[in-house]
């Protein structure tokens, strides 16, 4: 699937940082900002921020900077945060419970519509306002509800086969917490490796 904006992955990864900071500025009552100020708070150069934003159009005015609210709204539109695509969680164990109850899906471009597990003792329980369903009902659910994304909170042994099944059912995006890398065609995958983050911190403490 091709993005409407041809930009590098590194630029896309920085957009949420800009959006988060702009939200903080807006909540503090600040109405205007500059690439220099944004860069100072994010540990980046002003030119890098201007270059990133220029990938999506012209924002702000030379000499007067950016309107905080307008720039935030533009980033919200660019990232599709107002569309609330339907999403499901696969795996209702301890990790799935934390993700389902604590991630603010509605503020991040998604709407949680289903939670699934294979364990009989979990099926039928309530989680994040939804009833945990059996994986046996997944195919029929996807045909009826057409979820766009799935959150994988599964053991790594079953992640790849489950991901392939989900893509075959029309899932276009996978948020993967399964502690392994998965490879599927015709879907976007974002994998969360907490160990990688900790090892990155270790490297920085020893080398930088």
CATH of the domain at 105: 3.40.50.720
Look at residues 78, 97, 130 and tell me which one is the last residue of a structural domain.
78
CATH of the domain at 72: 1.10.10.10
* Cα dihedral across residues 152, 94, 140, 79: positive or negative: negative
Total domains in the chain come to 2
Tokens of 208: 């930088």
Please give the residue range of the domain that contains residue 42: 9-78
Element (H, E) at 48: helix 46-54
20-70: per-residue pLDDT in tens? 999 999 999 999 999 999 999 999 999 999 999 999 987 877 677 899 999
pLDDT bucket at 5, cuts 50 / 70 / 90:
low
Q: Both 156 and 70 in a single domain?
A: no
pTM: 0.88
């Amino acid at each position: 699937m091709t993005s409407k904006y041809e930009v590098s992955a590194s630029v896309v990864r920085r957009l949420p940082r800009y959006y988060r900071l702009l939200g903080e500025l807006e909540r503090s009552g600040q109405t205007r900002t500059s690439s220099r100020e944004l860069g100072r708070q994010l540990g980046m150069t002003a030119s890098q921020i201007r270059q990133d934003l220029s990938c999506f159009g012209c924002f702000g005015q030379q000499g007067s900077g950016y309107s905080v609210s307008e720039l935030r709204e533009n980033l919200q539109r660019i990232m599709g945060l107002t569309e609330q695509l339907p999403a499901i969680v696969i795996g209702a164990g301890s990790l799935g419970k934390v993700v389902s109850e604590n991630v603010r899906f509605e503020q991040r471009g998604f709407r949680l519509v289903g939670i699934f597990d294979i364990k009989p003792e979990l099926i039928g329980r309530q989680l994040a306002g939804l009833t945990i369903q059996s994986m046996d009902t997944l195919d029929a659910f996807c045909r009826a509800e057409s979820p766009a994304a799935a959150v994988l909170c599964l053991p790594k042994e079953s992640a790849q086969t489950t991901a392939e099944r989900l893509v075959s059912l029309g899932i276009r995006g996978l948020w993967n917490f399964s502690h392994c890398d998965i490879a599927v065609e015709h879907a976007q995958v974002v994998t969360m490796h907490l160990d990688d983050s900790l090892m990155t911190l270790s490297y920085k403490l020893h080398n930088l």
